[in-house]
Structure 1
Amino acid sequence: MFGEDQIAQQIARARETLAQGPGSPGGQSEPILTEAAEGRIKVTLGTDGRFERIKMSLSALKDGPEALVEQLTLAVNNALDQRTELTAANVPAPDMEAMNEQVARMQDASLQQFKDMDAAVRDLMAKLHGGK
């Protein structure tokens, strides 16, 4: 029979495999500050990966819309690149196919165990009702 200890061991192995996988973004503990246009444009990317602030000097605005967009794009992309480097996982991803197979085996074994328990309960109920 597929016992409680065996289920616990399989779940522990599955959790261990998942724990070895890449973590969710979150390796960024401090906001990222980037600059462009010789410091006249500053972009702050928060620890959640969203922009907190874009600050520009008046002289950056005087460069014209095309230059402004180009320099702003450089600052934003630089911030995103830095975040990617900070939050990149340094471990290989878990083998999801193997995980799916392991979970399927657990599911099949659990289903069989429930069928066996159902049969045992039905047997018991039949004996109880038949014995009256």
Structure 2
Amino acid sequence: MFDEDGLERQLREARATLREVAEASRAHDPREIVTEAAEGRIVVTLGTDGRISSLEINPTVLRDGVQYLAEELQVAVNAALDERSADARTDEPVADLAALTARVERLQDEGLRQMRALTMSVSDVMRKLHGR
């Protein structure tokens, strides 16, 4: 009727799976990326949020013209974005969230079923005690 060991085992499995998912997501936290262009005269920093957090342009780059500045700025920004994209790729298996959700739902259903059975047993005992 009330399988406490089975429920405990299911809870351990669900917790272990959740820990794996949490650890996998932490392992892929983005890092700050710094790229350069125009022989180091343009420095772009891409923050952990994926947005440009810093843009440094040495005024000497303007001597080469606005078109050159625009092209080199594009090179630096695209290099940062490419690096972020490469960081995001992984060969590690991704947690099957649908399976995890199904497991948690089964665990909840089993817990509710066992709680109902326990409640019915307690009610039966109480009825028998009051019937004496």
> Above 0.5 in TM-score?
yes
Query: Given residue 14 of structure 1, which amino acid in structure 2 is its aligned partner?
Result: A
Query: What corresponds to 1:106 in structure 2?
Result: 107
- What is the TM-score when the length of structure 1 is the normalising length? 0.70
Map 1:20-99 to 2 at 5 A.
Answer: 22-24=24-26, 25-26=28-29, 28=31, 31-47=32-48, 49-61=50-62, 63-64=65-66, 67-99=68-100
Matched to 1:56, the amino acid is I
Q: 1:13 to 1:38 in 2, by over 3 A?
A: same
CA deviations 1:7-28 (Å, max 9, x no partner) are 2322333344451684243263
When the two chains are superposed, the root-mean-square deviation of aligned CA atoms in Å is 3.0
- Tell whether the 8 Å contact from 2:2 to 2:118 is kept in structure 1 after alignment: no
Aligned to 1:3: 3
| Cα distance, 1:91 vs structure 2 | 1.1
How many residue pairs get aligned? The number is: 128
Q: Is the 8 A contact 1:43 1:54 kept in 2?
A: yes
- In 2, are the aligned partners of 1:40 and 1:56 still within 8 Å (CA)? yes
Q: CA 1:3–1:48 in 2, change beyond 3 Å: closer, same or farther?
A: farther
Quick one: structure 1 residues 124 and 88, their matched pair in 2 at CA, closer, same or farther if it must change by over 3 Å? same
How far off its partner does 1:109 sit? 0.8
**Change beyond 3 A, Cα 1:49–1:7:** farther
> More helix by proportion, 1 or 2?
2
Stretches of structure 1 lacking an aligned partner (at least 5 in a row): none
Match of 1:123 in 2: 124
Range with greater deviation from structure 2 (106-115 or 37-46):
37-46
